[in-house]
Amino acid sequence: MNGPSSFTDMGVISIAFSLLVAWLAYPVKRNLLYLCSVALVH
């Protein structure tokens, strides 16, 4: 019983972690694109 439950827990944790990373990386990538566009304009 421990195998499947721990496996599903790890799956949920990995999905939550990937969502958290994507949520944190989105504004960073947006800011980088903004800085690159400003640098190209100037």
What separation in angstroms does the CA of 24 have from each of 4, 9, 15, 38, 41? 30, 22, 14, 22, 27
Total domains in the fold of the chain: 1
Domain that holds residue 23: 1-42
Q: Tens of pLDDT along 1-42?
A: 555 666 678 889 999 999 999 998 888 888 998 998 999 887
Q: Could you report how far apart the first and last alpha carbons of the chain are, in Å?
A: 62
| Stated pTM of the model | 0.49
Looking at residue 42, its pLDDT comes to 73
Looking at residue 8, its pLDDT comes to 78
Looking at residue 16, its pLDDT comes to 93
Looking at residue 17, its pLDDT comes to 94
Looking at residue 14, its pLDDT comes to 92
Q: Quote the CA–CA distance of 10 and 32 in Å, as a whole number.
A: 32
